A and B are shown apart, each in its own frame.
Chain A
Amino acid sequence: MVFSSPVFLFLFLPLCIITYFIVSIFKNQKANNICLLIFSIMFYAYGSFDFLPILLISIVINYYLSQTYSRLRIKKKKKLYFIISIVFNVLLLFVYKYLNLFSGLLLGVEHATKIRLPIGISFYTFQVISYHIDVYRKTVKRSDSAIDFSLFTMLFPQLIAGPIVRYSDIVDRLKKRTTNLDNISSGLIRFMVGFSKKILFANALGNIADIAFGNLDKFVLGFALSVFCIICYTIQIYLDFSAYSDMAIGIGMIFGFEFPENFNQPFSSRSLTEFWKRWHITLSSFFSDYVYKPLGGSRKGLFRTCINLIIVFALSGFWHGANFNYLIWGLYNGLFLVIERVITTKTKFRFDKPILLIYANIVWIIGMILFRFDNFNTFLLYINGLFSAPKLNYNTRWLLQEIFNPYFYACFIISILYLTPFFDKIYCTFLKTRFGTVVIYVVVILTFVYGIMEMLTNGFNPFIYFRF
């Protein structure tokens, strides 16, 4: 189910909230969790019914394994079961996400497996892996409630596109949580902001990128349009994904959960290293804690640090999709992190000057070209367009008509402002006064209403990160 769909907005969410608060009257945390679990199963089953057994079996096996190794006292056996747990999840991810690619490479495209990707598998397997590692390391106590563990794995707001929540983030809230009017209203406002961001701005810019990149064989964009369209795509990715995180965090707040933030103004970064600390934070911290640091992190000298960075970013890139463009994208990012690390270690240069903001953003945007084109021929067409004079024709009209109109100008300007701290500052300033608060609330609500109108007139609105 998609947050930005009528079924979710007008049926599922109201029903879930009402049922949850009716159940809450009995002040039984277990009943509350069961209620959320049932709704989470319904959420996943809607549209992904075929994949529900995979998720449920994964939960049962993971719960059993975690119960087993955490009770064992013999270290070797404990380690064996722990390794089995990790291998099971990695294998699950490999089979459903990467087997098609590798079987295609080994056996040829005709003989490749054609396994469909279960929605959210990249996110929930990572959550469970983090759980196993934390329990094994004893940084968190194992869950002795199958319901709590199931809810941790498949809590619907973050089930299919993150943020990647760790057990330690929500364990207290699974056991005991309260919610009040303030939580609910703040959660709803955050949800509405995310919804409008996705529907009105991410989609408007995504539309430009989709039209342009979907028709590269019909016209030559030229440098200016090529750059503009990849900028639109870059902004779309950010708005789309951060909007989903906003909605997930907002829904979590309604039910008394506090999910970690996933973005922190990444486009204000002055280096790619800083960018990655602000972009998809829960994924970055996952790789940092569970891959980079165990490999030695930055403790074993510059050369080893660079190797570790390359490994982490190769994995991170490949996590985004079973295609080599994602791997190259990961390596590209890793390379820049290595360069920045070498510069800061060997020289006195620091990536802290405001002008470097341009550098970081340009490097990121160029990286997005690798991220966007999973087909080599289309990639070449784009590169050809980038370095050629434009050759336009009637096929270009649809694209230009979408760009050269006042509504798009407005969407583009607001989207650019979303990349800056502008809205955060406005929000903080306005919330200091009663009048300002009312203005903010009214603007958010009206934008939400317009977002609904857009949703109902424009059709299906999937989130880009669903495919990862």
Chain B
Amino acid sequence: MKYFDRFKSIFAILSFALIVAFPYYATIFKFDENLVGAEEKVELSFKNIDDYIMQNFPGRTLIVNTKNRFLYETFDISPNSSITKVKDNLFAIETLNYYYHGLYNISDAEVRALVRKLEKFNDYCKKNDKKLLIITTPTKPRYYNGPMPIVDYIISNNQDDSYDTDGLRSYDVFRDELKKTDIYFFDTIEAIDNNKNKYLKGNIPLFYKGAHHWSNYKARLVSFELHDYMRDVMGLKIPHMDAVASKSDVAMPPDSDLFDVLNLGIKSHDDYYTVTDKMLKYESDNLNYIIRGGSFMTGLVLIPITAGYNDTVLMSNKLVFYNNYNNQEEFETYDELEDRIGLLDKIKNADVFIFEVHEINVYNATFGFLDYILEHMEEI
């Protein structure tokens, strides 16, 4: 027993020594790669030594990947608290909260006020030979057919009455109100519902299990229907395009965006497809576009049909593309953009305005851009 006692003591001490020496050999063997969605690096100062060490800890990527994978594979849960795993599907929790519990819903009166503002701007467009197009885009839980996640079930059965609307989401009210106006409006949700076989069936899903955004391929199919609308209803000349999907081992962004943020160090199990765009026939009436929307707009293939004109500006969340898409910068306010790129002049010169409104984002449609325009009507 004496030798065994010595053995167990040495075993414990050596194990501890090996564990606390991890950062040193992690540095030597370079275990680190970048983490997806990692927090912004802090500068080293006396007050944030802990944060600094935490962020720059050698081998942190390996540690994060291993721990996350343990949780994901052993307990079948998402290691990221802002993402939920329901069966094999990943959801950003705010989308489930929106879909099941009315997060981001605004009152019908507020939605109507928004539509009145759009009408006001549309009147201006009509007077000045410009066109305004509103596009709405869908959120993932809308197409989830499985049983309601247990958390949502519990909340739904004990729902706070004050959050309960008349059963309609702000999107529904927005859609119905817009349809009563003469504003050009293309509802991708309706387009998908009208052609479920095309969009919801087949090998390539509308939403990949590991994605928050719609798939590259299906979003393109929706885009082509949008392009038809722009041609047939709005009378615009835009290029005719097509897309071809081919199987791939690697997911094209954003087809596995949620899965990647989990930092598991492995590839998603979905079957992925790369998409190649084809220009079938080039047509254009040389117009300038101002496009404002969020990340779902990226799938809508707007860039190839609006490129080529120097006054075209596309704003996606906090990114602005201008100078014929040659410049891409971050921005905070529209006043800042006015100073930097002369936004009001671009608005004055624009021929077509496209606002993409994600269904979850009706409360913040156009990200304040509509208000900015209305405040500066006299200058444009």
Contact A188 B13 (CB under 8 A): yes
Contact B155 A397 (CB under 8 A): yes
Please indicate the chain B residues that have their CB under 8 angstroms from the CB of A450 in the complex.
Answer: 67, 70
Report the minimum CB–CB distance from A451 to chain B (whole Å): 10
Given contacts A392-B158, A394-B97, A450-B67, is CB(A437)–CB(B8) below 8 Å? yes
Report the minimum CB–CB distance from B228 to chain A (whole Å): 37
A454 in contact (CB, < 8 A): yes
The 3 A-B residue pairs whose C-beta atoms are closest, nearest first, are A394-B97, A185-B9, A185-B12
Report the minimum CB–CB distance from B150 to chain A (whole Å): 5
Please indicate the chain B residues that have their CB under 8 angstroms from the CB of A437 in the complex.
Answer: 4, 8
How many Å lie between the Cα of A454 and that of B70 in the bound state? 11
B143 in contact (CB, < 8 A): no
Contact B60 A185 (CB under 8 A): no
A386 in contact (CB, < 8 A): no
CB neighbors of A among B82-110 (8 A):
84, 93, 96-97, 101-103
B29 in contact (CB, < 8 A): no
Please indicate the chain B residues that have their CB under 8 angstroms from the CB of A441 in the complex.
Answer: 8, 11-12, 15
Please indicate the chain B residues that have their CB under 8 angstroms from the CB of A393 in the complex.
Answer: 101-102, 155, 159-160, 163
Number of interface residues, chain A, beta carbon within 8 A: 50
Q: List 23 A-B contacts (CB under 8 A).
A: A7-B50, A181-B9, A184-B13, A188-B16, A222-B158, A389-B158, A392-B155, A392-B158, A393-B159, A394-B155, A397-B93, A400-B151, A400-B155, A445-B16, A450-B67, A452-B22, A453-B63, A453-B66, A453-B70, A454-B67, A456-B63, A457-B68, A459-B54
A405 in contact (CB, < 8 A): yes
How many Å lie between the Cα of A192 and that of B13 in the bound state? 11
Please indicate the chain B residues that have their CB under 8 angstroms from the CB of A394 in the complex.
Answer: 97, 101-103, 155, 163
How many Å lie between the Cα of A159 and that of B11 in the bound state? 29
How many Å lie between the Cα of A74 and that of B154 in the bound state? 74
Given contacts A5-B50, A445-B19, is CB(A391)–CB(B158) below 8 Å? yes
B71 in contact (CB, < 8 A): yes
Interface residue SS majority, chain B: helix
| Chain B residue nearest to A180 in the complex (CB) | B9
A residues engaging B (CB < 8 A)? Answer: 5-7, 9-10, 13-14, 46, 181-182, 184-185, 188-189, 192, 219-220, 222, 389-394, 396-398, 400-402, 404-407, 410, 434, 437-438, 441, 445, 448-450, 452-454, 456-457, 459-460
Q: Looking at B75, B77, B81, B160, which has the most chain A CB atoms within 10 Å of its CB?
A: B160
How many Å lie between the Cα of A410 and that of B150 in the bound state? 18
Q: Looking at A192, A219, A393, A459, which has the most chain B CB atoms within 10 Å of its CB?
A: A393
Contact A188 B75 (CB under 8 A): no
Contact B49 A188 (CB under 8 A): no
B41 in contact (CB, < 8 A): no
Please indicate the chain A residues that have their CB under 8 angstroms from the CB of B21 in the complex.
Answer: 14
Contact B8 A438 (CB under 8 A): yes
How many Å lie between the Cα of A394 and that of B159 in the bound state? 9
Report the minimum CB–CB distance from B7 to chain A (whole Å): 9
| Chain A residue nearest to B53 in the complex (CB) | A6
Given contacts A400-B151, A400-B155, A457-B63, is CB(A6)–CB(B54) below 8 Å? yes
Contact B50 A392 (CB under 8 A): no
Report the minimum CB–CB distance from B196 to chain A (whole Å): 29
How many Å lie between the Cα of A7 and that of B163 in the bound state? 46
CB neighbors of A among B47-63 (8 A):
49-51, 53-54, 57, 60, 63
- Given A407-B71, A453-B63, 16 other A-B contacts at CB below 8 A? A7-B50, A14-B21, A188-B13, A219-B160, A391-B159, A393-B102, A394-B101, A397-B93, A406-B75, A437-B4, A438-B8, A445-B16, A452-B22, A453-B70, A456-B57, A456-B63
Contact B75 A10 (CB under 8 A): no
Contact A9 B20 (CB under 8 A): yes
Given contacts A10-B20, A405-B77, A459-B54, is CB(A445)–CB(B158) below 8 Å? no
Contact A456 B155 (CB under 8 A): no
B5 in contact (CB, < 8 A): yes
B residues engaging A (CB < 8 A)? Answer: 4-6, 8-13, 15-17, 19-23, 49-51, 53-54, 57, 60, 63-64, 66-68, 70-71, 75-77, 81, 84, 93, 96-97, 101-103, 150-152, 154-155, 158-163
How many Å lie between the Cα of A405 and that of B74 in the bound state? 12
Report the minimum CB–CB distance from B242 to chain A (whole Å): 41
How many Å lie between the Cα of A222 and that of B157 in the bound state? 13
Given contacts A222-B158, A450-B70, is CB(A397)–CB(B101) below 8 Å? yes
Contact B53 A396 (CB under 8 A): no
Q: Looking at A13, A182, A185, A188, which has the most chain B CB atoms within 10 Å of its CB?
A: A185
Report the minimum CB–CB distance from B67 to chain A (whole Å): 4
Contact B13 A181 (CB under 8 A): yes
Report the minimum CB–CB distance from A39 to chain B (whole Å): 16
Given contacts A181-B13, A219-B160, A456-B54, is CB(A10)–CB(B6) below 8 Å? no
Contact B20 A13 (CB under 8 A): yes
Report the minimum CB–CB distance from B15 to chain A (whole Å): 5
Report the minimum CB–CB distance from A448 to chain B (whole Å): 7
Contact A406 B159 (CB under 8 A): no
| Chain B residue nearest to A459 in the complex (CB) | B54
| Chain B residue nearest to A452 in the complex (CB) | B19
How many Å lie between the Cα of A460 and that of B6 in the bound state? 36
Given contacts A393-B159, A407-B75, is CB(A400)–CB(B12) below 8 Å? no
How many Å lie between the Cα of A9 and that of B17 in the bound state? 11
Contact B19 A6 (CB under 8 A): no
| Chain A residue nearest to B164 in the complex (CB) | A393
Report the minimum CB–CB distance from B229 to chain A (whole Å): 34
Report the minimum CB–CB distance from B153 to chain A (whole Å): 10
Contact A449 B19 (CB under 8 A): yes
Contact A181 B64 (CB under 8 A): no
| Chain B residue nearest to A455 in the complex (CB) | B54
Contact A391 B93 (CB under 8 A): no
Report the minimum CB–CB distance from A9 to chain B (whole Å): 6
| Chain B residue nearest to A403 in the complex (CB) | B151
Report the minimum CB–CB distance from B349 to chain A (whole Å): 42
Contact B96 A397 (CB under 8 A): yes
How many Å lie between the Cα of A189 and that of B10 in the bound state? 12
Please indicate the chain A residues that have their CB under 8 angstroms from the CB of B77 in the complex.
Answer: 405-407
Given contacts A400-B151, A456-B57, is CB(A6)–CB(B12) below 8 Å? no
Contact A220 B160 (CB under 8 A): yes
Please indicate the chain A residues that have their CB under 8 angstroms from the CB of B155 in the complex.
Answer: 392-394, 396-397, 400
Report the minimum CB–CB distance from B81 to chain A (whole Å): 7
Contact B23 A445 (CB under 8 A): no
How many Å lie between the Cα of A402 and that of B154 in the bound state? 13
Contact A457 B10 (CB under 8 A): no
Given contacts A393-B155, A404-B151, is CB(A182)–CB(B16) below 8 Å? no
Please indicate the chain A residues that have their CB under 8 angstroms from the CB of B54 in the complex.
Answer: 6, 456, 459
| Chain B residue nearest to A398 in the complex (CB) | B81
How many Å lie between the Cα of A19 and that of B22 in the bound state? 19
